Amino acid sequence: MPAEPAVPAGRATPEDLDRADPLARFRDEFVTDDVIYLDGNSLGRLPHRTRRRLEEVVAVGWGRGLVGSWDEWIDLSTQVGDRLGAALLGAAAGTTVVSDSVTVNLHKLATAALDTQPGRPDVVTDAGNFPTDRYVLAEVARRAGGRLRTVPTDPVTGPAADAIGTALDDGVGLVSLSHVDYRSGSLADIAALTEQAHAAGAMVLWDLSHSVGAVPIDLPAAGVDLAIGCTYKYVNAGPGAPAFLFVAEALAERLASPIPGWFGTTEQFAMAAEHRARPGAARFLTGTPSVPGLVAVEAGVEILAEAGMEELRTKSLRLTDLLIDLATTSLAPLGFAVSTPTDPGRRGGHVSLSHPDARRISMAARRRRVVGDFRAPDLLRLAPVPLYTRFSDVAMAVERLDALVRLGEHQHVTVTGCAVT
Amino acid sequence: MPAEPAVPAGRATPEDLDRADPLARFRDEFVTDDVIYLDGNSLGRLPHRTRRRLEEVVAVGWGRGLVGSWDEWIDLSTQVGDRLGAALLGAAAGTTVVSDSVTVNLHKLATAALDTQPGRPDVVTDAGNFPTDRYVLAEVARRAGGRLRTVPTDPVTGPAADAIGTALDDGVGLVSLSHVDYRSGSLADIAALTEQAHAAGAMVLWDLSHSVGAVPIDLPAAGVDLAIGCTYKYVNAGPGAPAFLFVAEALAERLASPIPGWFGTTEQFAMAAEHRARPGAARFLTGTPSVPGLVAVEAGVEILAEAGMEELRTKSLRLTDLLIDLATTSLAPLGFAVSTPTDPGRRGGHVSLSHPDARRISMAARRRRVVGDFRAPDLLRLAPVPLYTRFSDVAMAVERLDALVRLGEHQHVTVTGCAVT
């Protein structure tokens, strides 16, 4: 039985859309091959400039400059933080730094937030939040004498304002949610949920890991207190690149890091007896940051800034619209269902398709050079990243998924391996 | 006035020593130039194999393998930890992991240690300990309801057992010291001080940042509970490479990480509701580690293992003996004094010379292609790292220091810049 044609007659073809794409040239910024890579929501592709700069910082900065290079590296965490904040978060200078991992940054900011909320030791999050967030928040709340209150999540639309509202009372000092749900790809209303938390006397800490670089963000406009996020997904900074954290300008002076490391102290090389917190978000710096990691973050931010987040969002929505359309028409009869909000205003950068055999389909697709990933129990996640994914890639990916399921190729797959967030 | 000849007649010349050096070939493992680099105690030199492997993990692992490479990266923190532990710490498999920074690892282990010491919320360290250690320990003690007790340090010999003994009582849950003092280079008696702390009911946490890769270490033989250390000094893993932590085998099951991240949980990809700590030191893993950083640590450990820590220590002591001899004979008349223990059993890998003008001398020396570093108020630190420093380098460095001070070159230097630990 032949597959349905992917695009109905009379519509613009994916190739038409590629030809009209104003961002098409950005694909040349990346190392690409014949793989249709739809897993940039887990690990973004390698930019050519990043490969070159990493070689340079290793061979020249480290290899030749040696310890003297620290003269130019010492402020990288704040410099790259400022650039990331300005390009991707709407954040003022001094409010964003790049350092540590998302997990460690979450611990620091959540702990510091509860420190300023006496009598409010509880934290609210949603049951579908990323595991490391739930684990760390539960421990931070426990150490503050409280507990983590977990709100049920809708598998497609994510946490709802009314469910969170029910969980809020004067025992809650902090609400921490993910901006884009790592499973469904649903996009939270960051301003509304922040306002709701503030009205109940709680601070907010947003995890932007699955939205930064995929969705335009303006943290000050949304009144956000604190935020964290990773750089190896849509910022394309490579496996384990350092994370960022954001602290609202008016808030920093009231917050103290629970890990007051020497990079977070004024007069770092005075080796003083007492830790004196640096102004702004820099007080949350800890130890020596990964210099190659910071160089890679800077390059990734640069490319996003050159393309422009509004333009990227426009293309991203067209790509995910196309994917949802094609999945609905050609994949639904094969047992797939769209598990991502169809409303573009409620959607991040990836689309999740549920299927009882999602895990094996995900693996069989790799043999056909289509790389998405699987999330238990039944989700196939597909992220058509606008910097390097073509409309024709999306159409071809759907055709291959269609063909492989029709041919039953996934039924011969042995389940192995892992995949990271 | 001409300088004294560096080597008295009748002794083996530095060139003789170089010719007889069984480790001489290891210099070829590193990117070198005409700089006499004596700052490997701050940032070690770049090994050729590390440059190659970093290029490969970026271009091939990330660029081509993309998310699929996580199948081989997912256990790197424990795999590289096991190799580092076996080669450098005498540690059994499962007791060492590579992750995060020294600062973050110190926070995790010190917090976990005090959690198991009810009624003993105080921490003892020495006043000369590295700033980040003092700052983090003070905060950990404060959060446990206690305080940091600071023991005076001798500027040359470091903290003394009797001073620490005086500070110990049943309010102290943890003693945390540096194995090698970052200023004087004095080497602590790790077994004796550990025994002393245990006898008083305290646990011990050793910071090995300035000793790992410079001095043979056997943590289990010394009865050490906990240890941390960095990899960008004598392990030569590059600027901001991830740190390690060690947890004694018998202790791990009693300890819980205050930052229970998803890399520290069993069944990481089950995304379970509750965090279940992994066995051993792996429970202290947090978020996604730097993959290039781990690759660099592995390469650095490999080279140290190939040379052998005992052989490296033997050469290191000969190098520092020579440096101390030459400094005593030719530099002492110029106002230098040796601020490192002359007893080889009390000395780490670097030698500190005090001089009222040490800062400017350190900078003037760079113009003469001799790179050491300065530590306030008056120390010039010089580390002849046995993997890549020749005896003739040491002699020439002393000759150049001698000449530049005699000529007053340092008096024209403008003080700028920083240098990292």
What is the DSSP secondary-structure string of A260-314?
A: --GGGBSSGGG--SS--BPSGGGGG--S---HHHHHHHHHHHHHHHHH-HHHHHH
Quick check: B43 and A371 CB within 8 A?
no
The CATH T-level fold of domain A14-47+308-412 is Aspartate Aminotransferase, domain 1 (3.90.1150)
For chain B, say whether A31 makes contact (Cβ under 8 Å).
yes
Please report the pLDDT score of residue A269 as a whole number.
73
Q: Which positions 152-211 of B are in contact with A (Cβ < 8 Å)?
A: none
Residue intervals in chain A for CATH 3.90.1150.10: 14-47+308-412
Are B330 and B6 within 8 A, CB to CB? Answer: yes
CA nearest B229 in A: which residue?
A287
User: Beta partners for A225?
Assistant: none
CA distance B421 to B233: 9
CA distance B108 to B259: 7
Chain B hits for A287, Cβ within 8 Å: 101-104, 132, 243
Quick check: A371 and B293 CB within 8 A?
no
Quick check: B269 and A376 CB within 8 A?
yes
Query: In the predicted model, is pLDDT for residue B3 greater than 80?
Result: no
Residue A116 sits at the vertex; the CA angle it makes with A110 and A122, to the nearest 5 degrees, is 55
Please report the pLDDT score of residue B416 as a whole number.
63
Rg, chain A, Cα only:
22
Q: Which positions 351-370 of A are in contact with B (Cβ < 8 Å)?
A: 366
Chain A hits for B34, Cβ within 8 Å: none
CA distance B63 to B47: 23
DSSP-assigned letter for residue A47: B
Chain A hits for B114, Cβ within 8 Å: none
Mean pLDDT across the stretch B30-40? 97
Please report the pLDDT score of residue B417 as a whole number.
56
Mean pLDDT across the stretch B189-207? 97
Quick check: A131 and B265 CB within 8 A?
yes
Query: In the predicted model, is pLDDT for residue B376 greater than 90?
Result: no
Please report the pLDDT score of residue B329 as a whole number.
95
Are B409 and A276 within 8 A, CB to CB? Answer: no
- The rounded percent of chain A whose pLDDT value lies above 90 is 90
With respect to CATH, is domain A74-306 assigned 3.40.640.10? yes
Chain B hits for A48, Cβ within 8 Å: none
H helix or E strand, kind and range, residue A51 = helix A48-56
Nearest to B291 among A70, A239, A288 (CB): A239
Chain B hits for A138, Cβ within 8 Å: 260, 275
CA-based nearest residue to A114, from A142, A94, A133: A142
Selected residue of B39, B42, B51, B66 to mutate for chain A interface (largest A Cβ count, 10 A): B66
Q: How many Å separate Cα A86 from the centre of its chain?
A: 17
Residue intervals in chain B for CATH 3.90.1150.10: 14-46+308-412
CA distance A352 to A340: 6
Residues 6 or more apart in contact with residue B129 via CB below 8 angstroms? B153, B176, B177, B178, B207
Selected residue of A29, A101, A111 to mutate for chain B interface (largest B Cβ count, 10 A): A101
CA distance A302 to B275: 37
Are A334 and A406 within 8 A, CB to CB? Answer: yes
User: Beta partners for A158?
Assistant: A154
CA distance A319 to A384: 6
Mean pLDDT across the stretch A7-26? 88
Please report the pLDDT score of residue B10 as a whole number.
64
Quick check: B42 and A67 CB within 8 A?
yes
Please report the pLDDT score of residue B161 as a whole number.
86
Chain B hits for A107, Cβ within 8 Å: 258-259, 286
Mean pLDDT across the stretch B289-316? 98
For chain B, say whether A290 makes contact (Cβ under 8 Å).
yes
Tell which wins on pLDDT, A421 or B281: B281
Residues 6 or more apart in contact with residue B296 via CB below 8 angstroms? B50, B53, B54, B231, B237, B238, B241
A12 φ/ψ angles, rounded to the nearest 5 degrees: -60, 135
Please report the pLDDT score of residue B7 as a whole number.
54
Residues 6 or more apart in contact with residue A88 via CB below 8 angstroms? A212, A213, A217, A235, A301, A304, A309
Residues 6 or more apart in contact with residue A261 via CB below 8 angstroms? A285, A286, A287, B101, B103, B104, B132, B135, B136
Structure token pair of residue A80: 């790259």
Return the SS3 of A94: coil
Query: In the predicted model, is pLDDT for residue A277 greater than 90?
Result: yes
Please report the pLDDT score of residue B379 as a whole number.
95
Nearest to B54 among A58, A262, A275 (CB): A58
H helix or E strand, kind and range, residue A55 = helix A48-56
CA-based nearest residue to A107, from B228, B143, B117, B75: B143
CA distance A265 to A276: 5
Quick check: A287 and B139 CB within 8 A?
no
pLDDT class of A1 with cuts at 50, 70, 90: very low
**Count of beta carbons in the 10 Å neighbourhood of residue B90:** 18
CA distance A392 to A338: 20
Selected residue of A36, A43, A60, A77 to mutate for chain B interface (largest B Cβ count, 10 A): A43
Are B354 and B339 within 8 A, CB to CB? Answer: yes
Tell which wins on pLDDT, B270 or A38: A38
CA distance A47 to chain B (A): 8
Q: Which positions 108-127 of A are in contact with B (Cβ < 8 Å)?
A: 127
CA distance A45 to A29: 10
Mean pLDDT across the stretch A216-235? 98
Tell which wins on pLDDT, B385 or A2: B385
Nearest to B104 among A46, A100, A139 (CB): A100
Return the SS3 of A370: strand
Are A273 and B134 within 8 A, CB to CB? Answer: yes
CATH class label, B14-46+308-412? alpha beta
Mean pLDDT across the stretch B130-145? 97
Strands A203-207 and A172-178: parallel
Nearest to B73 among A61, A239, A286 (CB): A239
Structure token pair of residue B367: 């113009």
CA distance B308 to B330: 33
SS (H, E, C) chain B: CCCCCCCCCCCCCHHHHHHCCCCHHHHHHECCCCCEECECCCCCCCEHHHHHHHHHHHHHHHCCCHHHHHHHHCCHHHHHHHHHHHHHHCCCCCCEEECCCHHHHHHHHHHHHHHCCCCCCEEEEECCCCHHHHHHHHHHHHHCCCCEEEECCECCCECCHHHHHHHCCCCEEEEEEECECCCCCEECCHHHHHHHHHHCCCEEEEECCCCCCCCCCCCCCCCCCEEEECCCCCCCCCCCCCCEEEECCCCHHHCCCCCCCHHHECCHHHCCCCCCECCHHHHHCCCCCCHHHHHHHHHHHHHHHHHCHHHHHHHHHHHHHHHHHHHHHHHHHHCCEECCCCCHHHECCCEEEECCCHHHHHHHHHHCCEECEEECCCEEEEECCCCCCCHHHHHHHHHHHHHHHHHCHHHHCCCCCCCCC
Quick check: B290 and A71 CB within 8 A?
no
Give the A:B interface size as CB pairs under 8 Å.
269
Please report the pLDDT score of residue B421 as a whole number.
45
Query: In the predicted model, is pLDDT for residue B2 greater than 50?
Result: no
Average pLDDT, chain A: 95
Quick check: B102 and A288 CB within 8 A?
yes
Residue intervals in chain B for CATH 3.40.640.10: 74-306
pLDDT class of B6 with cuts at 50, 70, 90: low
Quick check: A242 and B290 CB within 8 A?
yes
Lowest mean pLDDT among A10-14, B125-129, B291-295, B309-313: A10-14
CA nearest A257 in B: which residue?
B139
For chain A, say whether B3 makes contact (Cβ under 8 Å).
no
Please report the pLDDT score of residue A9 as a whole number.
56
Chain B hits for A239, Cβ within 8 Å: 61-62, 69-70, 73, 288, 290-292
Chain A hits for B69, Cβ within 8 Å: 239
Chain A hits for B238, Cβ within 8 Å: 58, 62, 291-292
Query: In the predicted model, is pLDDT for residue B49 greater than 80?
Result: yes
pLDDT digits (tens, 9 = 90+) for B62-111: 999 999 999 999 999 999 999 999 999 999 999 999 999 999 999 999 99
User: Beta partners for B122?
Assistant: B172
Structure token pair of residue A202: 């709680």
Average pLDDT, chain B: 95
Structure token pair of residue A316: 């991203």
Please report the pLDDT score of residue B278 as a whole number.
96
Quick check: A376 and B239 CB within 8 A?
no
Quick check: B290 and A290 CB within 8 A?
yes
pLDDT digits (tens, 9 = 90+) for A135-179: 999 999 999 999 999 999 888 888 888 899 999 999 999 999 999
Quick check: A67 and B43 CB within 8 A?
yes
Are A307 and A26 within 8 A, CB to CB? Answer: yes
Chain A hits for B50, Cβ within 8 Å: 58
User: What is the ipTM score, two decimals?
Assistant: 0.95
Nearest to A62 among B239, B287, B293 (CB): B239
Own/partner pairs, B331-335, CB within 8 angstroms, 24+ separation? B331/B398, B331/B401, B331/B402, B331/B405, B334/B402, B334/B405, B334/B406, B335/B405
Quick check: A136 and B289 CB within 8 A?
no
Please report the pLDDT score of residue A2 as a whole number.
46
